Amino acid sequence: MARSQEHSARPLDARSQAVLRAVIEEYVRSAEPVGSQTLVDRYRLGVSSATIRNVMADLEEAGYLTHPHTSAGRVPTDTGYRMYIESIAPRINLAPVERLMIRHQFGQVEFASEQWFRLAAATIAGATHAAGLATPAKPRACKLRHVDLVATSAHTASLVVVLAEGSVKQELIPLEDGYDQLELDDIARLLNNDFAGKSARQVATRVEALSGEPELPVLMLRAAQRIERMMREFDAAAVEDVFSDGLLNVMEAPEFSQSEKLRRVFAVLQNRDYLGSLVPRLASAQDVQVLIGAENDATEMQDVSLVLATYGQPGRAMGVVGVLGPTRMSYPHAIGTVRFVSSLMNELVEQLYR
Amino acid sequence: MARSQEHSARPLDARSQAVLRAVIEEYVRSAEPVGSQTLVDRYRLGVSSATIRNVMADLEEAGYLTHPHTSAGRVPTDTGYRMYIESIAPRINLAPVERLMIRHQFGQVEFASEQWFRLAAATIAGATHAAGLATPAKPRACKLRHVDLVATSAHTASLVVVLAEGSVKQELIPLEDGYDQLELDDIARLLNNDFAGKSARQVATRVEALSGEPELPVLMLRAAQRIERMMREFDAAAVEDVFSDGLLNVMEAPEFSQSEKLRRVFAVLQNRDYLGSLVPRLASAQDVQVLIGAENDATEMQDVSLVLATYGQPGRAMGVVGVLGPTRMSYPHAIGTVRFVSSLMNELVEQLYR
DNA sequence: CTTTAGCACTCCAACCATGAGAGTGCTAAC
DNA sequence: GTTAGCACTCTCATGGTTGGAGTGCTAAAG
C-alpha cells in the first residue's frame, strides 16, 4: 500500500476525512460531481450543507478535490483517492460470501497449472466488474527438466522441452534424412543425460563444448542449440504473458463513453510490455499496490487505476494479479478481491513446490 | 465467395456497375455519404451528375444503395457490397510488394508451430488495418503420440501429453507417496506402449479395461484417466482458441466513435464461441468467404464484416484465418490478404504433415 | 429514347440566444 | 464554529434560424 506521497503530510481531522470519504463513495456510485446538498441528504454527517461547503473548500485547497467548473459539485483528485485508500486499506477484508464464491471457482481447475492465471483474471473481472489482469508465475531462472523428440511426420519432429517449474515449450525441427523414432529416442536420452537440471547458462557452455566434437550427429547438435535458445528466450522475457479478462466491464463505465480515452487504454493493454514492466517494480512490495491515474507513468493510463499484487515464491517464481478499472472504482472491493485472489494463488503455487 | 443471394438475380449493365463500384470505393475512402457531384469530379464516368442521379435512383430501387435522409448522398447496402465483391473477387490478387512483406514476416518463426496462427492474425491486422483473426489448425480427431511423466516436486508430477499433430498438453498430477523419477519413467513407458497411436475413443475403452485390473499402480490408472479426459476435451472443443490482433485498428474507424456499437462488437469477440461456430460452416467452402453486416446471424455483428478462409488439410486438421472490420472496409485488399495468408498457412501445415 | 441543365425542395448541421437548475462562495446572524 | 440566505456563475437542454449539400423532377437538347 505504501507509495511515496508528496502532498498529504498533514493528517486530516475526523470530519474532513468523513467528508472526503463520502464524496468519493458518492462519486464512485454516481459518476457525477458531488454537491454539498447531496452529501447532507445521503450521508449522516450531522452538519448543514454550508459547513460541508466550507470543508470541501478546504479539501480542495489541500489538493484532495477539484471542480470541473465553478458551479459544479466536487470530484476527487488522484491525491484524494490515495488519501482515502490509505485510510481504509488496513481494514479491508472481503465479505465471506464473496470469498466463498471465489474459492468455489478455484476449486474447479485445480490441476491445469497453465490455466491458473487465466482463471485468476476471469475471477477478478467477475468479482470487481472491472478488467482482471494476471501473469503466469514466471520462474526467475529456468532449469531444464526433460527433453523429448517425437517424430510427427517423415521430415519433421517435435522437440518438447519441459522446464523444472512445470512449463512446457515445443518446437518443430526438420529432419534431414529419415531418422526413425528409435534414433530420436537415443538422441533424446543423450540430451537428457547431458542437460537435465542445468540452467540456461550451463546449457549454453555445454553446447559450446559439444559444437567442437566432430562425431556428433547433426540432429543432436541442432536440437541442443534449439534448447539453448528456447531457455535463453524464456529467461529473457520480462513476463511471458499478461492475460486480461473483462475489458468489456471497463468499456461500460460512463467516463469512457467518448471512445478516445478508451482507445488509449486499450493501446496500453494491447502492448503487453507496459504491464510486464510493472512486475519487477512490484516484486519488493509486501501487500497490494494501488497505482492511481497519473501515478502511472504511462500517459495513456491517466484515466485508469491499477490494483496489483504479486503471488508465488520470491526467488523462485513470481507472478502478478490485479484489477484495471476507471480511477473512479470501488477500491475497497478491488483491494479486497486482489488480496484474496493473490493469497489463493500463493496456496496453489506452494502446493506445486511443496 | 459463393453465398446464396436473394436479391441480385438480374445482372447490372456496365454503367450501373461502374457507378456502384465508384460509390463503394468513395465511401470506403471517405466514410461519408457520396453525392452525385463527387462522383463526377473524382471518377471518370463520362456522364453528368444528373445522369448519375438517375442511375443511383435505380440502384437504390434495386436495393444496392440507400439514403440516410432525403438530402444526403448515397451509402451502399449490404447487398450492394455483396454485388461489388462478387464482381471483383475473381480478379483480386495481392500486390507483389505486399506478398513479399507478408512472406518475409512468415520467414521469421518457421518452427514454433504453436505460434503460426498468432503470426497470421498479426500479419493480417497489419496488412489490412483491421482486426486479424486466426484459429490454430485443429485436428479432427487427435491421436496420442507420446506421454511423459516428470516429477516437479516431492508431491507433484507434470503429465505431458504430445498429440500426433504436434500439440502438447500439460497438467499437474499429485503424487501420493514418494515416487521417484525412475518409477515415473516406468509408468510412462507402460502408458506409451499401451496408448501410443490411439484415438481418444480407443484410449477410453482401453482405460475401461485397465480399471478392472487390481494389480495396477494407482498412479498409472490415475494418469490414464487424465489422458483420456484431456484427449476427449481436445476433441470436443469446437475450436481451441480464436486469436485476434489489431482490434485497435477497428476502434479507429469513425463509425465506431460512439462506443455503443463498438462495445457490441467486442462482446462478440470476447465470447469466442461465435467465431468458433463459423468454422464448421466454412469447412465446405473452397475460397475466401465474405460475411457482410447483417448476413452474420449475430445481431451484434451487424456493423462489421468478416472475410474468412480456411487453411490446413480437410479431414486432418483445419483452421481459419480472417479479417474483422467495419462493413465499410476495403474488400479487395482484405480478400487478397486473407487468400494469400491462408495459402501460406497451407504450405506450413503441409510441411508439417509431409 | 437518352442525356443534361436548371430549379425547387428537403433536410441536416451548425449557430446563437434563452432560461432553468445546480451548486458555489460570501456575508451576516446565531 | 455553524448556519441561513442570497447573489453569482456556469452548464446543459431547448428552440428558432440559416446555409449548404444533395436530391428529384421537368423540360429542353442531342
The larger pLDDT score, comparing residue B270 to residue B233, is at: B233
Query: Low-confidence residues of chain A, pLDDT below 70?
Result: 1-10, 109-113, 238-240, 258-259, 271-272, 354
Q: Is B154 on the interface with A (CB under 8 A)?
A: yes
In Å, how far are A27, A86, B6, B39 from B52, measured between CA atoms?
56, 68, 26, 8
Which bases on strand C have an atom closer than 7 Å to a protein beta carbon?
A: 3-6, 9-12, 21-27
Which chain A residue's Cα is nearest to B256?
A: A259
**Cα B157 from Cα B154, distance rounded (Å):** 8
Minimal Cβ distance to A263: which of B114, B251, B267: B251
What are the two backbone dihedrals, phi and then psi, of residue A217, each rounded to the nearest 5 degrees?
-60, 140
Set of chain A residues whose Cβ sits within 8 Å of the Cβ of B156: 351-352, 354
- Which residue, B155, B200, B149, B147, is CA-closest to B174? B155
**Cα B197 from Cα A308, distance rounded (Å):** 46
In Å, how far are A124, A246, B26, B165 from A333, measured between CA atoms?
10, 16, 51, 45
| Pair A25, A110: CB distance under 8 Å | no
| Beta-carbon contacts below 8 Å between A and B | 121
Set of chain B residues whose Cβ sits within 8 Å of the Cβ of A152: 145, 164-166, 352
Mean pLDDT of B171-181: 79
Residue B37: pLDDT over 60: yes
Mean pLDDT of B39-62: 95
**Cα B260 from Cα B337, distance rounded (Å):** 29
Residue at grid coordinates 480399471 = B211
Letter for the amino acid at B3?
A: R
Set of chain A residues whose Cβ sits within 8 Å of the Cβ of B192: none
| B244/chain A closest Cα distance in angstroms | 11
Residue B176: pLDDT over 80: no
| Pair B290, B85: CB distance under 8 Å | yes
Tell me: the pLDDT tens digits for B127-161?
999 999 998 887 778 889 888 888 877 788 888 89
Q: Is B30 helix (H, G, I), strand (E, B) or coil?
A: helix
Cell numbers found for residue A308: 496489483
Mean pLDDT of B261-287: 76
Instruction: Collect contacts of A30-38 with beta carbons under 8 A, ≥24 apart.
Output: A31/A253, A31/A254, A31/A255, A31/A328, A32/A73, A33/A67, A33/A68, A33/A72, A33/A73, A33/A74, A33/A75, A34/A73, A34/A74, A34/A75, A35/A73, A35/A74, A36/A73, A38/A73
Give the torsion through C-alpha atoms of B178, B179, B181, B182, to 10 deg.
Answer: 130
- Determine the Cα angle at A203 with ends A198 and A206, to 5°: 120
Tell me: the pLDDT tens digits for A156-167?
888 989 887 777
The larger pLDDT score, comparing residue A120 to residue B351, is at: A120
Radius of gyration from C-alpha coordinates of chain B: 26
Which strands make up the sheet holding B144-151, listed edge to edge?
B144-151, B156-163, B168-174
Residue B3: pLDDT over 70: no
B192 CB below 7 A from strand C atoms: no
In Å, how far are A19, A65, A79, A253 from A61, measured between CA atoms?
14, 8, 12, 29
In angstroms, the CA of A67 and the C1' of C27 are apart by 23
- Paired with A323 in beta bridges are A132, A307
The larger pLDDT score, comparing residue B151 to residue B227, is at: B227
**Cα B117 from Cα B243, distance rounded (Å):** 8
Among A37-46, B119-128, B244-253, the minimum mean pLDDT is found in B244-253
The winner for highest mean pLDDT among A86-95, B16-25, B174-183, B303-312 is: B16-25
Set of chain A residues whose Cβ sits within 8 Å of the Cβ of B255: none
pLDDT, averaged across chain A: 86
| Pair A256, A185: CB distance under 8 Å | no
Q: Smallest CA–C1' separation from B73: which nucleotide? A: D22
Cell numbers found for residue B98: 505486399
**A positions 15-74 inside 8 Å of B (CB):** none
Q: Does the distance separating the beta carbons of A166 and B158 come in below 8 Å?
A: yes
